[in-house]
Structures are given as C-alpha cells and as structure tokens.
Chains A and B, each alone.
Chain A
Amino acid sequence: AQSVSQHNHHVILSEAASLELGCNYSYGGTVNLFWYVQYPGQHLQLLLKYFSGDPLVKGIKGFEAEFIKSKFSFNLRKPSVQWSDTAEYFCAVNSNQAGTALIFGKGTTLSVSS
C-alpha cells in the first residue's frame, strides 16, 4: 500500500532561518507529488506539485521542492521563512492514474517566531 512519511511533527524556527521539511513515499510506480499548506483558520491550499519533468519545482510564496526518485523523496524548502509561514504542511502522493485519491502524510506544524 502507498504511504507517505513526514519526518518532523513540529518545527520551530526564527524568521529568516532556512526551512527543509522531509517527505518520503513508498510506491514503485509513477507518482504525482504535492505539498499542501493549511494556514490557521484557512482552507487547505496547494503550495506546489510535481507531475513530470524538472525535478526541482517552484511553488507559491517562495517555496520549492525537489523530487529525488532514487530516494523516494520530495522535500520542501524555503531559504528564508517569515512569521506568516506559520502553518501546517502536508505532503501527498497519488499514482499517475485517473481519479486516484491522495495519500497524505501526517503533517508538519511549522511555528515561526518573529
């Protein structure tokens, strides 16, 4: 069965620090990869996605992620976090088939202090 592991449950950073959130998945086939973010009191929204092509993908708000197929990883990065990045971050995977539901990791809570 597909599964998604997020390595950090809670990350605490100061403003301007760099961020890297780990995500590993277990599936041998072709996958689509996503990072979603849930800001306090807001909808779950898409940060970035990878379907194919360049393994380094850029998303909204300065986030990027790198797909490393050999490591089954899709880590999220941001060079300099802001207080407004405080949120919960979810990595998700589905297979490259029509209509397959997303499998989510358990989430990482990011707290940024100003």
Chain B
Amino acid sequence: DGGITQSPKYLFRKEGQNVTLSCEQNLNHDAMYWYRQDPGQGLRLIYYSQIVNDFQKGDIAEGYSVSREKKESFPLTVTSAQKNPTAFYLCASSIVGLGEQFFGPGTRLTVL
C-alpha cells in the first residue's frame, strides 16, 4: 500500500534532549512537509522540502531542524532550543505543483 508512515506514534522525552521524528513515504512525491498541531491552533508549518537536499523554513521553524537526503524520507529533529515541544506532529507529502497533500498518522511528542 502506498502511503506515509510516521514513527513512533507516541514519544516521551526529558526536557533538554533532542529527539528525531521519522517520516517515510512511498508515493514517489517530490514535496514533503512537517506541521505541528496544537488544540485550537490548527496546523502550522514547520519546514517543507520540494526536492532532495533542499528545504525551506515554515512559520514556526525555530527550535527544529530537518534533512532531506532521500526522496522518501524527511526526518524532523526537535532540539532543546524549542521552548514548547509537546505537540502532535504531522508529516505530509505532495506532487509538487498540485497542492493536494497526503498526511501520515502523526507522532505525539510529550516532553517531561
């Protein structure tokens, strides 16, 4: 089945630790995205990438980093510089130019 996988589903980390969230897609999409979802805030864009080895900051990139070494993969690192990292993180992908995005199941990160 084609789709987007995110792992793990739940993640707990201590304050001050960096943590990396995985996102893999087998849809052969060029573009990939990371969003953060908080209650009552909708989805806010963290980073996106339209092509391998290139990515752009979204509205709330501070405290996050990404890489795009392979077309299928777009991992997100939540660094200790992110002041309020507890949230639900969604990864998405799309064919560049068509707009419609497909979403993964999400990772719920809790920082203790």
Q: Which residue of chain B has its CB nearest to the CB of A100?
A: B99
Q: Count residues of chain A with CB under 8 A from any CB of chain B.
A: 27
User: Restricting to A86-101, which residues have a CB under 8 Å from any CB of B?
Assistant: 90, 92, 94, 96-101
Q: Which residue of chain A has its CB nearest to the CB of B51?
A: A99
Taking Cβ atoms with an 8 Å cutoff, the residues of B that contact A are 30-31, 33, 35, 40-45, 48, 50, 58, 90, 92, 94, 96-97, 99-106
- Pair B97/A98 contact, Cβ less than 8 Å: yes
In the assembled complex, the Cα of A31 lies from the Cα of B2 at a distance in Å of: 28
In the assembled complex, the Cα of A84 lies from the Cα of B80 at a distance in Å of: 40
The 8 A-B pairs of least Cβ separation, nearest first, read: A99-B50, A32-B99, A106-B42, A98-B97, A44-B103, A104-B42, A104-B43, A99-B96
- Pair A99/B97 contact, Cβ less than 8 Å: yes
- Is A45 interfacial (CB 8 A cutoff)? yes
**Contact partner of A98 among B45, B96, B105, CB < 8 A?**
B96
In the assembled complex, the Cα of A98 lies from the Cα of B56 at a distance in Å of: 14
Taking Cβ atoms with an 8 Å cutoff, the residues of A that contact B are 4, 6, 9, 32, 34, 36, 43-46, 49, 51, 90, 92, 94, 96-107
- Pair B50/A98 contact, Cβ less than 8 Å: yes
**Contact partner of B41 among A51, A92, A97, A106, CB < 8 A?**
A106
Give 16 pairs: A residue, B residue, CB < 8 Å, sorted on A.
A34-B99, A34-B100, A43-B103, A44-B43, A46-B100, A94-B99, A97-B97, A99-B97, A101-B33, A101-B48, A101-B58, A102-B33, A104-B42, A104-B44, A106-B40, A106-B42
